[in-house]
Structure 1
Amino acid sequence: MTTDQKQMKIVLQMVSGYGGEFKTWRLPEAKADAYTDMDLYVEMAQLAEKGKLHALFMADTPALVNNLNTETPMHSMDPLIAMTSVARATNRIGLVGTFSTTFNEPYNLARHLKTLDVVSHGRVGWNTVTTSTGATADNFGSHIASRKERYGRAHEVIEAVQSLWGSWGESAYVHDKETGQFADLDQIKPVNYRGEYVKTSGPLPIPPSEQGQPVLFQAGPSGEGVELAGRFASGVYANPFTIEESREYRDILREAAVRHGREADEINVFTGFMFTIADSKEEALARRRQVMAFDLEETNQRLRYLSAMVGVNLTSLDVEKPLPEGVQNMLQANWQDPRSPRAVELLQEGYSPLDTLAMGVINYHPVVVGTATDVADFLQEWFESGATDGFSIVPDLAHDGVRRFVEEVVPILQERGIFHRDYEGSTLRENLGLPYQYGVKD
């Protein structure tokens, strides 16, 4: 490996302590009460840090959005508390949390995130989202504003937060016992931000961290989301299903950065990716089938959905066996669903409809079900094709998935020279190759 060879960046999506498949909590090896076990959360974070993963990503929707009767929650109890717990038990790995610009005020956001950035010695990132979930609006006694209003407010909230972050001068923290001066008030100034949607006076009485201030991330592929990312974000979470789709979206984001006077490389795209790792593909597939068996009604619903994806009523066939050759020749990918070509490919390779489902063809991210080498091959292909800068990985079950990724996949990627062997520095900005920033960027 040459010293200037580009290397992928990897963040671990923490979900709720279980993993990306919401029925895996019933597996024998799973810890049933992982949702409330913050010690387990910390243990997984320490494992991820051992593997030199760049950051932990904690998504969030402040509302109940899935069926807890049989499924685990989609998010942690509270991302800020989870990040704080992990911060005190780790040293290098980044901590990225999702916080809405719609249902938070700039001062609270600025205070919480900058404090944690100082506490963690410069390892915090903020994933900015504009919430459009009705249940969330109800929880805040509000309503869902128009897209124009949500994104207009988002731009203002980010500006106001960054202004507050920079309101304490970089050398204002004197704390000199001899002179008796604790801080230089001449360097601590109000921001008096006055926008159409938000207002805040400041200053925020918190000094800078080692990286200056938290790194901004963004999630959302809309035109408004792209412009927000192009102006502010250093990391973008993306959910493409093909290399071509991913490469096109990455190019759009890079162009948006340039349009806003930034370098294209200032944006890192993290592609969502799910996996099940076992000693063989057959063993991994068996585990996925075991999870599917926990909810036969849902599996039948997915079979009907798969039928629509490939243009054939699969439920009228033996879903345990490969399709007859004549039926295979009738399959046709649904142009409205980018996952359909993969489903057709697997069915035509001889996988049964149930095994095709188990391969993750209707998951919300690309899925690899197989060995550590299979996972590494997938990551390498996407990365070296220019489709992405890195990945937001989600194991099916975090309890053993994080360990297998760290102990089995990471060494393969390192040996191939496409993943670093150690952290580049002590802050999130250093490890992502980003410049120091403090306050609003000119």
Structure 2
Amino acid sequence: MSTTPNPGHMLLGMQFGNGFGAQPHAWRAPGVSPDALTDVDAQVRHAQTAERGLFDFLFLPDFLHLQQDLDHEPPTITLEPLLTLAAVARATERIGLVTTASTSYNDAYTLARQFKTLDVMSRGRAGWNAVPSSGEATAANYGRPALGRTEKYERLHEMVQVMQGLWGSWEEDAFIGDQAAGCYADAAKVQPIGMQGRHVGSHGPLPIPPSAQGQPVIFQAGGGGNGLQVAGRYANGVIGAVFSIEDARAQRAALRQAAADAGRDPDEIKFFAGVMPALGDTVRDAVDRRLALGKDVLPQRVGYLGMMLGLSLGPEHLDRPLSPDQLAVTRPHPGDPRSERALAVARDGWTVREVLAHGVIDYHPTPVGPAEVTADHMQEWFEAGAADGFWVSIDVYENGIDEFVDQVVPELQRRGLYKTEYAGSTLRENLGVPHQYGLDPRLG
């Protein structure tokens, strides 16, 4: 079976967070159990639905300290991601299992062992989002001082290299398994790596054979010059945060150039733009759904919306549209790429509350309305070369994943933009990225 998807087919990942969904008050939506935060069976069920929709991977972000106001909303992340994905691995067959794991506060040998175990357990579906951690609160949870920026990225490079060295320390043809002769493996092909950097090292070897895809796929979800360098050297998947086609095309081009500069084929790196669909039979239905989910959150965002539009807005403006006088003087903020869309929605006559319910200050673009609206957005970006695919943030998992799979996926397939079956059984096959085992020999 070919390891390269049809070039005309976009790739899809799904944000897989705290058991409720991407919207802050998803835990209060009808039909959602407040216990979903720790319900692994629910996590498995959601993963199976995403696999039914042929998603290429689940993506679990991770946060190493408590961020939420627990009086009103659950933590963004609670359960340990690798253990969560181990449970999901046993109940799925094709979907990739990608999670963040900090390079700042983990040991290389332990993390290499955990990820390769997941990769073997899942028969070649594991991926690692290799990013550093920031902030005093996270450092305090590990009883350490926070790392400076330079040290963080030095340590990240060493972590990736040592872990890949360990992943390759059991060579691909070391296993023999000759029971009659009593020969299990060629010990000469299971060797220490003896790698030691300034921050990270390991003697090795790691006594785990290769998985069906060899070793986990590296992802990156940082940004800036350091993140670009990391992605260019190591990553096959990059999780982006962009709000315009122009910005997305520029970021994808920069990533491809960084890969080329590192001696890699630019096609080895896949850029995923975020999208947060607001689905409904009509735009009005979709807005009403978001209004219900954000009733306690939207008033807090009025001041920020005003800043985006160059206006002084307060809670008293929530339930009326911008006046002609306000529209005459409003200007999109040049430093916020979401401002142009916020202004366009406001000019359509929606109230300030409804403008906010359009997701104009969410973390990713929010197409609002029937499935065709989300498909139009994805098609436009994909055909413009702004992304190789998308990572989709579902508002409420309990019903939103089914809605996306049953409505948006068939529409993308009808347009010839999305596959009708998985390309293979491993994450590498489904992403269309090359085999790698151990360190990349092209990198010095």
Q: Displacement, 1:129?
A: 0.6
Query: Are 1:31 and 1:399, in contact at CA under 8 Å, matched by a contact in 2?
Result: no
| Pairs within 5 Å for 1:216-295 | 216-293=218-295, 295=296
Q: Is the 8 A contact 1:17 1:76 kept in 2?
A: no
Letter in 2 for 1:403: D
Please state if 1:185 is matched with 2:187. yes
The aligned counterpart of 2:12 is 10
Q: Answer yes or no: is the 8 Å Cα contact 2:302–2:315 preserved in 1.
A: no
| Residue 134 of structure 1: aligned partner | 136
Aligned to 1:395, the other structure's residue is in SS state coil
> What is the rounded CA distance, in whole Å, between the counterparts of 1:181 and 1:47 in structure 2?
43
Aligned match of 1:203 = 205
Q: Can you list the C-alpha shifts for 1:142-171, whole angstroms capped at 9, x where unaligned?
A: 122111111111111100000000000111
Deviations, residues 221-269 of structure 1 (Å, cap 9, x unaligned): 1101100100000000110111111111111111100000001111101
Taking a change above 3 Å as real, the CA distance of residues 101 and 5 of structure 1, as seen in their structure-2 partners, is: closer
Shift of 1:308: 0.9
Contact 1:22 1:73 in 2 (8 A): no
* Equivalent in the alignment of 2:145: 143
AA in 2 matched with 1:426: S
Shift, 1:299, TM fit: 2.8
Closer/same/farther in 2, CA of residues 39 and 4 from structure 1, 3 Å limit: closer
Q: Secondary structure at the match of 1:33?
A: helix
How many angstroms does 1:115 deviate by? 0.8
Q: 2:331 corresponds to which residue?
A: 332
Give the letter for the 2:83 counterpart.
I
8 A contact 1:230–1:257 mirrored in 2: yes
Give me the whole-angstrom Cα distance separating, in 2, the residues matched to 1:33 and 1:22.
Answer: 16
**1:401 & 1:427 partners in 2: Cα distance?**
26
Residue 172 of structure 1 and its aligned partner are, at CA, apart by 1.3
Query: Tell me, what secondary structure is at the counterpart of 1:40?
Result: helix
Partners of 2:78 and 2:8 lie apart in 1 by: 33
2:309 corresponds to 1:310 = yes
Q: In the aligned structure 1, how far is the partner of 2:106 from the partner of 2:315?
A: 50
Does the CA-based 8 Å contact 2:128-2:218 persist in structure 1?
Answer: yes
Equivalent of 1:83, from 82, 85, 88?
85
Q: Which residue in 1 is equivalent to 2:391?
A: 392
Stretches of 4+ moved more than 6 A in 1? Answer: none
Q: In structure 2, what is the equivalent of residue 321 of structure 1? A: 320
Greater Cα shift, 267-276 or 188-197: 267-276
Pair 110,256 (structure 1): closer, same or farther in 2 beyond 3 Å: same
Q: Distance in 2 between matches of 1:30 and 1:359?
A: 22
For the Cα contact (< 8 Å) 2:19–2:36, is it kept in 1?
yes
Q: Distance in 1 between matches of 2:317 and 2:63?
A: 39
Deviation at 1:314, TM superposition (A): 2.8
Aligned AA (2:258):
A
CA distance in 1, matches of 2:315, 2:25: 26
Residue pair 2:24, 2:294 contacting (<8 A) in 1 also: no
Cα distance in 1 for partners of 2:298, 2:18 equals 23
Match of 2:178 among 153, 176, 179: 176
Q: For structure 1, which runs of at least 5 residues remain unmatched after alignment?
A: none
AA aligned to 2:432 is: G
In structure 1, which of residues 94, 106, 109 is the aligned counterpart of residue 108 of structure 2?
106
Superposed CA offset, 1:404-441 (max 9, x none)? 01111000101111111100111000000011110001
Shift of 1:317: 5.8
Q: Which residue of 2 aligns with 1:366?
A: 365
CA shift in 2, pair 1:247/1:350, >3 Å? same
Paired residues, what number?
A: 437
SS of corresponding position for 2:372: helix
Q: Is the 8 A contact 1:114 1:165 kept in 2?
A: yes
The answer as to whether partners of 2:277 and 2:368 remain within 8 angstroms in 1 is yes
CA distance in 1, matches of 2:278, 2:326: 29
CA distance in 1, matches of 2:191, 2:202: 13
Alpha-carbon separation, structure 1, partners of 2:26 and 2:205? 47
The one-letter amino acid paired with 2:438 is G
Moved more, 314-323 or 378-387: 314-323
Alignment partners' CA distance in 2, 1:4 and 1:174 = 36
Q: Is the 8 A contact 1:46 1:89 kept in 2?
A: yes
1:318–1:194 distance in 2 versus 1, CA, 3 Å: closer
Report the residue type matching 1:414 in the other structure.
Answer: Q
* TM-score (structure 2 length as normaliser): 0.96
The within-5 A match list for 1:424-435 is: 424-435=423-434
Note closer, same or farther for the CA distance 1:235–1:48 as it changes in structure 2 (3 Å cut).
same
How far off is 1:292 after superposition? Answer: 2.3
Q: Contact 1:134 / 1:144 at 8 angstroms: preserved in 2?
A: yes
Secondary structure at the counterpart of residue 410 of structure 1: helix
Aligned equivalents of 1:251, 1:386: Cα separation in 2? 9
Q: Verify the 8 A CA contact 2:299 2:318 in the aligned structure 1.
A: no
Residue 392 of structure 1 aligns to a residue in which SS?
strand
Q: Which residue of 1 aligns with 2:374?
A: 375
Check whether the contact 1:76–1:82 (CA below 8 A) recurs between aligned residues: no
Q: Deviation per CA, 1:173-210, whole angstroms, max 9, x where unpaired?
A: 22221011122101100000011111100000000001
Unaligned runs of 5+ in 2: none
Aligned equivalent of 1:54:
56
Rounded Cα–Cα distance in structure 2 between residues aligned with 1:318 and 1:138 = 41
Aligned counterparts of 1:209 and 1:316: Cα–Cα separation in 2: 55
Name the Cα RMSD after superposition: 1.3
Distance 1:224 1:327 in 2: 41
Given the two structures, how large is their TM-score scaled by the length of structure 1? 0.97
Q: Which amino acid aligns with 2:256?
A: R
